[in-house]
């Protein structure tokens, strides 16, 4: 019985987008004054939850969609 790779190409792009956005938020959190850190951590958590929910919805409702559209949109929204 062969083990199937659970990471499809869209997931790899999404992991790259998450690393970029969450890495930038981590750097911003480290440089932010203590009063703003909780808000930045909440922003990182909200972005992560949104990314996971959108990934699940995209895999269910649009399995033929190009693999880079969702990660590209999430990267731009997280970066902006």
Averaged pLDDT for residues 29-48: 91
Cβ neighbours for 50, distance < 8 A, ≥ 6 positions apart: 74
pTM of whole model > 0.85? no
Phi then psi dihedrals of residue 18, to 5 deg: -65, -40
Residue 55, token pair as written in the block: 């990934």
Q: What is the tens place of the pLDDT at every residue in 44-64?
A: 999 999 999 998 898 889 888
With CA atoms as reference, report the closest residue to 24 among 69, 67, 76, 71: 76
């Amino acid at each position: 019985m062969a083990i199937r790779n659970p990471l499809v190409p869209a997931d790899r792009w999404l992991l790259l987008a998450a690393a970029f956005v969450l890495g930038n938020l981590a750097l911003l959190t480290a440089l932010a004054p203590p009063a703003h850190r909780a808000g930045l951590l909440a922003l990182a958590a909200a972005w992560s939850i949104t990314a996971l929910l959108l990934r699940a919805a995209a895999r269910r409702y649009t399995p033929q969609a190009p693999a880079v559209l969702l990660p590209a949109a999430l990267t731009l929204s997280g970066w902006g």
